[in-house]
Structure 1
Amino acid sequence: MKRTGILGGTFDPPHLGHLIIAEEVRQKLGLEEVWFIPSYTPPHKDDAKARPENRVKMVELATASNPYFKVNTIELERAGNSYTYDTLAMLKKSHPSRDFYFIIGADMVEYLPHWHKIDALRELVHFVGVKRAGYHLASAYPIIEVDIPVIEISSTLLRKRLQKKKSVAHLTTEKVYGYMKEKRLYEKG
């Protein structure tokens, strides 16, 4: 079985925290690849600020330098609410020789009991919890804990800085930053 990490999210925009999480988990669990899966409409969040095609392009730019990172657009192709169970059921069907490790932050570990079809989902995937300030990894569900360097960067932080016309250099990759500036993403008005 190929060991494949899954890092889902809105990636609105992607930042260095996403890349650090993916690489740390990949190395510590000996994963062959990590697939970044941008969501169409996450059921637990407001709508994304950037259009899907812009978010995919930014994730492609962010991950291009790491040969172990791949971008998978399954949720964008499906459209509608992006439930993890539906995505993983489709992935397991189309990739039966892969063992999936779903990477989530500690904030999502606490929310697991509320996930759509959580009991069926845990049969499809291994949950990997990464630490996040202010949250604990305690759960009734089996979680593989991975310590990572604490990086307090969020997509919300980047969007707020860009709205105020402040730099986000060194918070995301140069290519993503250049793309956001070129497309004038997240600017007010």
Structure 2
Amino acid sequence: MKKIGILGGTFDPPHYGHLLIANEVLSNLNLDEIWFMPNHEPPHKEKSESIKNEDRLRMLELAISGHSSFKIEMIELERSGRSYTVDTMKILNERFKDDQFYFIIGADMIEYLPNWHQIDELVRIVQFVGVERPKYSHETEYPVTYVDVPAFDVSSSMIRERLKTGKTVRYLLPDPVIRYIGEKHLYGT
């Protein structure tokens, strides 16, 4: 049986904060792998006019290259419309019956758990792992395993804004991702 962490997100773009969270959870919970799961259309966010799924996927591949325990799970990109975690986890549990899944969420999502689609069913089929983010509480009535992650206050929206205004993103994104963004003229570069 493998122990697999799932880190979902838009990864628009993937940054060092994502990688830090994944690595800390992998190490602290002795997981076998972390699956980065880019979503097509998250239910809690408005769809942005951002970039194509192919570009987000390629940036994610570049970001995780070289880490043998980091993989990409495409299940949510392959479905159209809004993706609900409960539906995704039902499918993954059916496909990988012998594996145990840990769904990684930031403190912003911990606060939002009461609003998740079919949350009572979801907590029965997956273990939530919470990581702290600055400015958010991690109080919840739902079962969440907590992992301390060094504070790194970065977000994809902040990076997109910096790119749009010509500010540096060095040390916020892996260099191959920065090069890809420049080559493809993404985010107004």
What's the TM-score bracket when you normalise by the shorter of the two chains?
Answer: over 0.9
In structure 2, C-alpha distance between the alignment counterparts of 1:12 and 1:113, rounded to whole Å: 26
Q: Deviations over 1:38-95 (max 9, x none)?
A: 0000111121411111111111110011110001111011121011111111100101
Query: What is aligned with 2:177?
Result: 176
Q: Which runs of 5+ in 2 are unaligned?
A: none
Deviation at 1:123, TM superposition (A): 1.2
Query: What is aligned with 1:38?
Result: 38
Deviation at 1:142, TM superposition (A): 0.4
Q: Which runs of 5+ in 1 are unaligned?
A: none
Query: What is aligned with 1:80?
Result: 81
Q: Deviations over 1:1-58 (max 9, x none)?
A: 2100000000000000000000000000000000000000011112141111111111
Q: Secondary structure at the match of 2:104?
A: strand
Q: Secondary structure at the match of 2:173?
A: coil
Deviation at 1:106, TM superposition (A): 0.5
Q: Give the ranges of 4+ consecutive aligned residues of structure 1 lying more than 3 Å apart after TM superposition.
A: none
In structure 2, C-alpha distance between the alignment counterparts of 1:68 and 1:20, rounded to whole Å: 13
Q: Secondary structure at the match of 1:74?
A: coil
Q: How many matched pairs? A: 188
Deviation at 1:169, TM superposition (A): 1.4
Query: What is aligned with 1:159?
Result: 160
Please tell me whether residue 147 in structure 1 is matched to residue 148 in structure 2: yes
TM-score between both structures, scaled by the size of structure 2:
0.97
Q: Secondary structure at the match of 1:111?
A: helix
Corresponding letter in the other structure for 2:65: A
Paired-residue identity, %: 50
TM-score between both structures, scaled by the size of structure 1:
0.97
Query: What is aligned with 1:103?
Result: 104
Query: What is aligned with 2:11?
Result: 11
